[in-house]
Amino acid sequence: MVEALFWPALLGYGEAALAYASTRTTRAATWGVRLGWLAQTALLAVQAARADGFPWAGWSASLDLFVWLIVGAYLIWGCRPRYRLLGLAVMPLAAALFVVARIGGAMHAHPNSGYGTAFLVLHVGLVLAAFAGFTLAAALAGLYLWEERRLKRRAADILRLRLPPLASLELLTRRTVAVSLPLLTLGLVAGFVRLREEHRGLDALEAVTLLTWAVYGGFVGLRPTGRRAAYLALGGFALVIVARLVLSARHFT
Amino acid sequence: MTALTLIGLSHHVAPVELRERVTLDAAAAAELARSLGDAVCLSTCNRTELYLAGADEEAAVAALEELAGESLGGVLYRLHEDEAALHLFRVAAGLDSLVPGEGEILGQVRDAYEAVTPGPVLDHVFRQALGVGKRVRTETAIGESPASVSSAAAALAAQVFGELRGRRVLLVGAGRIGELAAANLSSRGAQIAYVANRTEDAGRELAQRFGAEAVRLDELAAKLGEVDVVVCSTAAPEQILRAQDVPARRRTPLFFIDIAVPRDVDPEIAKLGGCFLYDIDDLEAVVAETLSGRRAEAERAEQLVDEEAERFRKWRASLDVVPAIASLRARAEEIRSAELAKVRVSEDERRTLESVTAQILNKLLHLPTVRMKEAAVSADGAVYADAVKHLFGLEED
């Protein structure tokens, strides 16, 4: 069943990743995102129904959940035609991470991690939701930098290949970070409470996550504008990538 | 059947010296149309066209020649039936305009149509043309990009700031294109806050028109901190805004539109963080690019227009059989009423009989009606109509 749902989800995401390349296939791309996300939602629901406790505590399974959260966040407002290029950035990443999650064994049942379900939902769920938000914010920041560069260079096709205005991209980046940061804060607090109970120090992932929190905290607190804000959002995302793809395997074991 | 004819001239065939003589204002165009009978007169700066339904073609030509003061034999075009309709659809869609996809023409077609009371053929073709114009604008991106330097300047500002409502504009110089750019920004919600001009009277007059404050040229640098967009179009021989005039540590972008030749704005400003500068060459390049985009969309629009022209052709063909259908239905109704009149029944029973017989009649005539309309689209329409008239003895009608 899980296997049968993986392929439609991947097909949807893959089709969207390709179809966003052309203005004429934007609608097909949006439907690819929707159908793929529905298939992945069903896949996660089946996993949840079968599991004894929180099924996404492992490295690859949490990556699977991460992909679902990214696409879900993108679906909320990113599917509008003028955000087509955002889809072109987000959907290939989502499809690639989805494949990586599968190769890592995300579709198979994982042994119980030993932690309570409530803790895992709070900690893993919130941290991943925050990371998904930061991923979207980074894609928006990348789009901002590209559009700003085109405007600076006075590209003749600036109104033909039309992106959202700079002000909208900046505002959406700020809002996405502002929503994601409290989620990360709560997720970290839950993790630190458990850490204290276990009387152990920070591992590399936890240290990088803390640094990520500091970067985005600075983003919200200092309210940088323009290019500086975009670079800061991308810097924070680099830390998310390190945390999610480089250091998370050891953390989950 | 009433013939549809188009007689006119446009920018494709007539120079402006000739077009300006036959261009009419709305009231005069309506008056001319009424004087010709069932006609609509579409008169804009690029065209004067008379659409006639059965009206006298030669009278229309004579009216145009009288306006021109010369014979128009070489430039007038005459189109009939489907070709006239196709032409009108292309005009309403903006495909026959100087700038493909320009939106103003649709309003002009509507005004010309509403200024008179056209008969059924003109009414149908103009209503369909208005629908075609709307369809082309909603189903293609032909009208989305700006087609002039002034509208491109406003669109670029919107690309930086998004919503322009509340954004403040400094207008430097009272040049025509600068004023147009300011008007475009204003129409998008921006506020023209300051106007500066070398000739203070002209500056004050322009400021008054936009509800802005007139300032001197030596106050410009001080005002840069208070505005979001600067539009320059002076005839000054030297630069009037330099990089050092731009205040540092701005939190919002500053957008410069320099339409002047020689340029008013120091090109170094473009290198400053948060500053964007477009000069006349940049704006013209943007317009050229968007126009090429419009031409690509025009191909899609032509397909839509062709579809609509085909629909019109079918509608016109269906008119061939309409008299036969109407006669058939009238004859059937006459028989039904006559037979019912012979029956002596109560009022309730009569109502029931009326209802039942009317339903029988409708059901019986439905299929022949549909088949005749279908046949009308092909070449068999007249044959079917003749057959029905002969079979049901409708010739005498």
| DSSP string computed for chain A | -HHHHHHHHHHHHHHHHHHTTSGGGHHHHHHHHHHHHHHHHHHHHHHHHHSSS-TT-SHHHHHHHHHHHHHHHHHHHTTSGGGHHHHHHHHHHHHHHHHHHHHTTTTS-----SS-HHHHIIIIIHHHHHHHHHHHHHHHHHHHHHHHHHHHTT-GGGGTSPPPPHHHHHHHHHHHHHHHHHHHHHHHHHHHHHHHHHT----HHHHHHHHHHHHHHHHHHH---HHHHHHHHHHHHHHHHIIIIIIHHHHH-
Q: How far is A94 from chain B (nearest CA, A)?
A: 28
ipTM over 0.85: no
Can you give the pTM of this predicted structure? 0.69
Is B45 in the active site? yes
pLDDT at B291: 83
Between these two residues, B381 and A64, which has the higher pLDDT value?
Answer: A64
Which residue in the set B152, B155, B162 is minimally distant from A168, CB to CB?
Answer: B162
For A166, the closest chain B residue by CA position comes to B160
Question: Are B159 and A157 in contact (CB < 8 Å)?
Answer: no
Q: How far is A4 from chain B (nearest CA, A)?
A: 38
For A152, the closest chain B residue by CA position comes to B276
Residue B348 reports pLDDT greater than 80: yes
Question: Are B162 and A225 in contact (CB < 8 Å)?
Answer: no
B232 vs B17, B176, B279, CA distance in Å? 33, 11, 9
Question: Are B276 and A151 in contact (CB < 8 Å)?
Answer: yes
Confidence band (pLDDT; 50, 70, 90) for A115? low
- Best residue in A83, A147, A154 to probe B by mutation, most B CBs within 10 Å? A154
Environment class of residue B341 by beta-carbon count within 10 Å: exposed (0-12), middle (13-18) or buried (19+)?
A: exposed
pLDDT at A111: 56
pLDDT tens across A177-235, in order? Answer: 999 999 999 999 988 887 777 777 777 888 899 999 999 999 999 999 999 999 999 99
Max Cα-Cα span within chain B:
104
Q: How far is A20 from chain B (nearest CA, A)?
A: 18
Residue B227 reports pLDDT greater than 90: yes
Q: What is the DSSP code (8-state) at residue B245?
A: G
For B276, the closest chain A residue by CA position comes to A152
Question: Are B251 and A227 in contact (CB < 8 Å)?
Answer: no
Question: Are B290 and A227 in contact (CB < 8 Å)?
Answer: no
Which residues, in sequence order, are CB contacts of B382 under 8 Å at separation 6+? B320
Residue B165 reports pLDDT greater than 90: yes
